[in-house]
A and B are shown apart, each in its own frame.
Chain A
Amino acid sequence: MKKKTLLIAPAIVITALLFTALTYYSGRVSEYEIEHSRLTNSIVRLEDKLMKQVSAIRYKLPDSTWVYNRQKERVLLASVAETEPRLCLYADRFQCESCWQAELGSLAFYQKKDSGLPAPALLAANYNIREVKLLAQRNNTDIPMYVTEEIPVLQHIARLRKPFFFVLEPGGVVSSVYFPDEQSITSDSTYFTTIARRYLKTVAPTAQSTGKQKGFHIPEADIDLGDIGLRKKQEVVFSLVNDTDTACDILDIRLSCSCMMLQSMPQRVLPGETGEIRVDIIQLSKGPFSRTIELRTSSSDAPYMLNIKGNVV
């Protein structure tokens, strides 16, 4: 009896210790998950806030705002974006040159990567034509560049002596002003993606297919999960239909939140066939949510935006 007790007692102690360790560990994991989710949400909220501020700025340029092109021809700034918007970088001689050249590089990079962005342009304030030509030569870029003096409506922004992006809309409207964050490329990416989405709207139907139609398309690009449980894993499936005569390659997929995990995705959808993208999603806080998946394929220059929404109860 005593022997039995001697054997059982350590077993109980070890089991209790193991249980405590497991509980502690799982607690830590869930703490980590909560913290991670909280940070992710904070970043999303900050990005949303940033983009709301970006959207809030709109100026109408005076009709007499002139600039010079590389051929030293005097043109109205509004005419630079006569028919379609332009994504402009404003750079001033009195700014740190290497800073705005880095942004020019960034613009060229995103332009190549995201063909959905409006055509770019550089507005070089207080520079001369020769310097602008040299700049194009040095950066090996064909981005249109315009020489200008200080533009009165932008003066108060330009006075910050930092390079900034803006969208020049047809009709001479300056909008979506954004000062790049030197410390982070994430916000640059957010800005460019948002601008691409916003100004892609007009061409979106060719890429963002819904309903029955020919070509590569996603019949259900918006999925509403309705009410889902807290910390309950949900599987979301998007069908890809290729009704064309050529194979469609999946080039890239981007999930807007770390709360989603890609489970499976075809590399290629052959002509006449269908494929599926399977994503698991877990929400760690209560309330409504909305997540986006950006899908790039060989069938279209514009990305497909897949949306998932729901309400965590």
Chain B
Amino acid sequence: MKKSLICMVVSCTMILSCKKVHVTELSPMSLDYPDSTKVLMIEDKYPYMKLVTDKVVHLQAKGKDNTQPCGIIQNGESLAMRYRYLPLETTDECLIGQIDQIDSDGSSIFIFDEKNYSAYRFSLEDGSFICKYGTQGRGPGEYISLNCMAIDKKNKEVCLLDFELFKLMYFSYDGELLREEPQYYAYNRFFYCGDALILNTDRNENPMAPAISNNSLVLAQPDQTPLFKGFPHNYSDKFNYTIHYSLIKCKDDVYYTHVMSDTIWQIKPNGVCEAKYVFKFQGRDNLFDENDFQQITNEEYEQRKKDIAYYAGDITITDNFIRAGIFNGQPMLYSISTGHYYYGYPNNRYFDGPTSFEGKFTLDGTSFVDVLQPFQLLQNHELAKDMYNEISYDAYWNKRLTEEERQLLQKMTPEDNPILVIVDIEPF
């Protein structure tokens, strides 16, 4: 009798001590799902991502006037660079205006043009057009605008987000629509990372999902069910700045930077957020502190970074290098294996034009990718021809251009799609 009483008390205590998890149904953001069959079950609490800051690498950044060397630099020297041109095929079906995202599966290249709402696949071998993902409209596989493209390499799927119709469209690599899913809460950029989705909820408040509201990042299952949240924000109403590409993907890793920060965080699928790189600027401490997030106004923010070098999210990370654009400062290239720096624009020459190496994209984490616009290139040539004697100018060109460049230039028209320049840099 005594034993059973003790058992009862213990089990009651255990049951009562169990934390009760409330689960609520989250309806799609779009009203096009009136049957409410599509709901997302979300809990009332999610843990924060774990921040790890003990493995950070400090990157020495330089302002415009800073002539003092920092670390080991090779300023002024030419980098050993190899580059090959990949002209993308031009048809009425695959017109590209600007390139905002590039990804690759090894044999083909995925291009996302955010301005013109389009996503394409081209052959990596010869730049021939393979397929387009979706078209404008309101039907299945159609969109009003596109905000982001995410490649799920594991399932070989291309996922597009339409933040106007609040839906995700999943296509096979070959362009066939596989399915559509509603968007349940607001995020404007996302990437696959292992088996998880990393969603940039940015400054969206998401009042319909209080468990994740007012956080800049959400790590979720592929069906958007949250797992972790991170980077809570409580910006003042008088501060509107944000970084457009705060979430970036380089190879298979996803990195995050937020406004008023010099840190690049690597987000891992297990909910760990590792401070990977921090920019250090000579002669100044951090421009912003914790209190600024709640108090700063647009005017104060502008004033504080006026004429001062700072980092604002312009970065590309490959296996061997980190390339970063510094506002009011010098672009930099950091060699991961040697810890050496290169400041300024590498002495590159695409068709010997004024275009310099920018390396805004990476191809599988090995090469950098630059984008050349034929109409700009031809326009620059015409301007140069006007300035110099045409005959001597042509002779100059014939001497300077490689055979590949000469042939490309002969075939080039202003209406052509961009040319990708795949750049490999020798470690330094």
Does B136 have its Cβ within 8 Å of any Cβ on chain A? Answer: yes
Determine the chain A residues whose CB is within 8 A of the CB of B95 once the complex forms.
130, 133-134, 137
Contact between chains at B136 and A130 (CB < 8 Å): no
- Give the Cβ gap from B249 to chain A, nearest Cβ, in Å: 25
Q: Kindly state the interface size class of chain A when it binds its partner.
A: 10 to 19
Contact between chains at B116 and A128 (CB < 8 Å): no
Does B30 have its Cβ within 8 Å of any Cβ on chain A? Answer: no
Does A155 have its Cβ within 8 Å of any Cβ on chain B? Answer: no
Determine the chain A residues whose CB is within 8 A of the CB of B375 once the complex forms.
128, 130-131
Question: What separation, in Å, do the CA atoms of A130 and B113 have in the docked complex?
Answer: 14
Q: Which residue of B lies closest to A126 (CB)?
A: B379
Does A138 have its Cβ within 8 Å of any Cβ on chain B? Answer: yes
Q: Which residue of B lies closest to A127 (CB)?
A: B375
Complex interface bits, B398-428 against A, C-beta within 8 A gives 1, otherwise 0 = 0000000000000000111100000000000
Question: What separation, in Å, do the CA atoms of A151 and B68 have in the docked complex?
Answer: 53
Determine the chain B residues whose CB is within 8 A of the CB of A140 once the complex forms.
136
Does B350 have its Cβ within 8 Å of any Cβ on chain A? Answer: no
Determine the chain B residues whose CB is within 8 A of the CB of A128 once the complex forms.
375, 414-415
The CB with the most chain A CB atoms within 10 A, among B90, B136, B415, is that of B415
Q: Which residue of B lies closest to A129 (CB)?
A: B415
Q: Which of B92, B115, B136, B414 contacts A133 (CB 8 A)?
A: B92
- Give the Cβ gap from B164 to chain A, nearest Cβ, in Å: 12
Contact between chains at A134 and B415 (CB < 8 Å): no
Determine the chain A residues whose CB is within 8 A of the CB of B415 once the complex forms.
72, 128-130
State which residues 245-286 of A face B: CB under 8 Å.
none
Contact between chains at A130 and B117 (CB < 8 Å): no
Does B97 have its Cβ within 8 Å of any Cβ on chain A? Answer: yes
Determine the chain A residues whose CB is within 8 A of the CB of B115 once the complex forms.
138
Q: Which of B118, B414, B416 contacts A137 (CB 8 A)?
A: B118
Complex interface bits, B353-385 against A, C-beta within 8 A gives 1, otherwise 0 = 000000000000000000000010000000000
- Give the Cβ gap from B92 to chain A, nearest Cβ, in Å: 7
Question: What separation, in Å, do the CA atoms of A131 and B97 have in the docked complex?
Answer: 7
Determine the chain B residues whose CB is within 8 A of the CB of A131 once the complex forms.
97, 375
- Give the Cβ gap from A108 to chain B, nearest Cβ, in Å: 14
Q: Which residue of A lies closest to B117 (CB)?
A: A138
Q: Which residue of A lies closest to B378 (CB)?
A: A128
State which residues 130-176 of A face B: CB under 8 Å.
130-131, 133-134, 137-138, 140
Question: What separation, in Å, do the CA atoms of A131 and B418 have in the docked complex?
Answer: 12
Question: What separation, in Å, do the CA atoms of A72 and B417 have in the docked complex?
Answer: 16
State which residues 88-139 of B face A: CB under 8 Å.
90, 92, 95, 97, 115-118, 136
Question: What separation, in Å, do the CA atoms of A130 and B417 have in the docked complex?
Answer: 8
The DSSP consensus for interface residues of chain A is helix
Determine the chain B residues whose CB is within 8 A of the CB of A129 once the complex forms.
415
State which residues 29-48 of A face B: CB under 8 Å.
none
Question: What separation, in Å, do the CA atoms of A151 and B401 have in the docked complex?
Answer: 36
Contact between chains at A134 and B414 (CB < 8 Å): no
Question: What separation, in Å, do the CA atoms of A138 and B375 have in the docked complex?
Answer: 19
- Give the Cβ gap from A131 to chain B, nearest Cβ, in Å: 7
Question: What separation, in Å, do the CA atoms of A150 and B172 have in the docked complex?
Answer: 45
Question: What separation, in Å, do the CA atoms of A138 and B97 have in the docked complex?
Answer: 10
Contacts A128-B375, A129-B415 known; A134 to B97 CB distance under 8 Å? Answer: yes
State which residues 55-86 of A face B: CB under 8 Å.
72
Q: Which residue of A lies closest to B417 (CB)?
A: A130
Question: What separation, in Å, do the CA atoms of A129 and B413 have in the docked complex?
Answer: 11
Q: Which of B90, B92, B116, B414 contacts A138 (CB 8 A)?
A: B116
- Give the Cβ gap from B118 to chain A, nearest Cβ, in Å: 7
Contact between chains at B136 and A137 (CB < 8 Å): yes
Contacts A137-B136, A140-B136 known; A130 to B116 CB distance under 8 Å? Answer: no
Question: What separation, in Å, do the CA atoms of A78 and B135 have in the docked complex?
Answer: 34
Question: What separation, in Å, do the CA atoms of A137 and B416 have in the docked complex?
Answer: 16
- Give the Cβ gap from A67 to chain B, nearest Cβ, in Å: 15
Question: What separation, in Å, do the CA atoms of A241 and B118 have in the docked complex?
Answer: 52
Complex interface bits, B299-333 against A, C-beta within 8 A gives 1, otherwise 0 = 00000000000000000000000000000000000
State which residues 97-145 of A face B: CB under 8 Å.
128-131, 133-134, 137-138, 140
Contacts A128-B375, A130-B95, A130-B416 known; A137 to B116 CB distance under 8 Å? Answer: yes
Q: Which residue of B lies closest to A133 (CB)?
A: B95
Contacts A137-B95, A140-B136 known; A130 to B118 CB distance under 8 Å? Answer: no
Determine the chain A residues whose CB is within 8 A of the CB of B97 once the complex forms.
131, 134, 138
Q: Which residue of A lies closest to B136 (CB)?
A: A140
- Give the Cβ gap from B46 to chain A, nearest Cβ, in Å: 38
Question: What separation, in Å, do the CA atoms of A133 and B96 have in the docked complex?
Answer: 10
Question: What separation, in Å, do the CA atoms of A133 and B415 have in the docked complex?
Answer: 10
Question: What separation, in Å, do the CA atoms of A129 and B417 have in the docked complex?
Answer: 11
Complex interface bits, B136-147 against A, C-beta within 8 A gives 1, otherwise 0 = 100000000000
Question: What separation, in Å, do the CA atoms of A16 and B415 have in the docked complex?
Answer: 83
**Given contact pairs A128-B375, A128-B415, a sample of 14 additional A-B residue pairs in the complex whose CB atoms are under 8 Å apart:** A72-B415, A129-B415, A130-B414, A130-B417, A131-B375, A133-B92, A134-B95, A137-B95, A137-B116, A137-B136, A138-B115, A138-B116, A138-B117, A140-B136
A selection of 12 A-B contacts at a CB cut-off of 8 Å is A128-B414, A128-B415, A129-B415, A130-B375, A130-B416, A130-B417, A133-B95, A137-B95, A137-B118, A138-B97, A138-B116, A140-B136
Which residues does A use to contact B, with CB under 8 Å?
Answer: 72, 128-131, 133-134, 137-138, 140
9 nearest A-B residue pairs (beta carbon)? A130-B415, A128-B414, A134-B97, A138-B116, A129-B415, A140-B136, A134-B116, A134-B95, A128-B375
